[in-house]
Amino acid sequence: MKSFNKYLFLFLVLTIFPLAGKAQKDIKKSCISTVLFQATYAYQFPGLDTKVLYGNNSSVGGSVIYKTDKNWLWSFNGNFIFGDNINISRPELMGIILTSSGEIVTGDGIYGSFALFERGAHFQAKVGKVFSILSPNPNCGFFVNGGLGYLFNRIRCEFGSYASPPANLSGDYLYGYDRMRGGFAYSGEIGYMYMSNSRLLNFSISLEFVQAHTKPLREWDFNLMMKDTNSYVDRYWGIRFSIYIPTYKRMPAEYYYY
């Protein structure tokens, strides 16, 4: 593993940083090639099988993007999915360990409260194209892109700090209730990207679509009392806002001759 990390670091040093140093042109006059670092946030709406378990959620992450002098965008992107809107009822999720009144008994032998959250992640490689329409320079404007990758989601259960979890929800037993599933995912995005001539203000806003063909990743589902062998289609629609840190060097605004 240490050798892999060493080679990965060496690869990044030999590829990303040389690319970052090449783009030293005036972006007002021509398309440039450069590396962009992106921080991004999306508010997402679930569809298909996703909305059975989850409500609206958030997604936050980052990307490393290589923009060519032909306005092609090549990137690797990772996002963390999180939310506190769970649509499945507690009896549906963990009914076999609830009391007849719907309460849960903690490891301390008392009734306890617990909260449910959505957690997940989405990793993808993306390719896109910028069309310099209604833009301050040739390097930005409306854009489209698509991605291929992997997505997973699950339900996280948290107990109050005053109570210990019941034996049925401690250790590996908890995995039998979290409905974790994952699989191949693809995405599409359309939006507007702005890169200021001064290099100080760089952002985009877009609409995105993500769909994943997922399968359960746990070996046992306690509600089914067997492994869940179904296949699911997880879908997210979202509104995404991103900011960019460009790596090209600004050209001087004026030249002085002596």
Cβ contacts of 171-179, under 8 Å, gap ≥ 24: 173/222, 175/218, 175/220, 176/218, 176/220, 176/221, 176/222, 177/93, 177/94, 177/221, 177/222, 177/223, 178/154, 178/218, 179/53, 179/88, 179/93, 179/154, 179/155, 179/216, 179/218, 179/221
| pLDDT value of position 102 | 72
Average pLDDT, the chain: 86
Query: Would the pLDDT of 157 be above 50?
Result: yes
What's the CATH code, domain 38-246?
A: 2.40.160.20
Query: Would the pLDDT of 196 be above 60?
Result: yes
Query: Would the pLDDT of 25 be above 70?
Result: no
Q: How confident is the model at residue 227 (pLDDT cuts 50, 70, 90)?
A: very high
pLDDT: which is higher, 222 or 251: 222
Q: How confident is the model at residue 92 (pLDDT cuts 50, 70, 90)?
A: confident
For the full predicted model, state whether its pTM sits above 0.85.
Answer: no
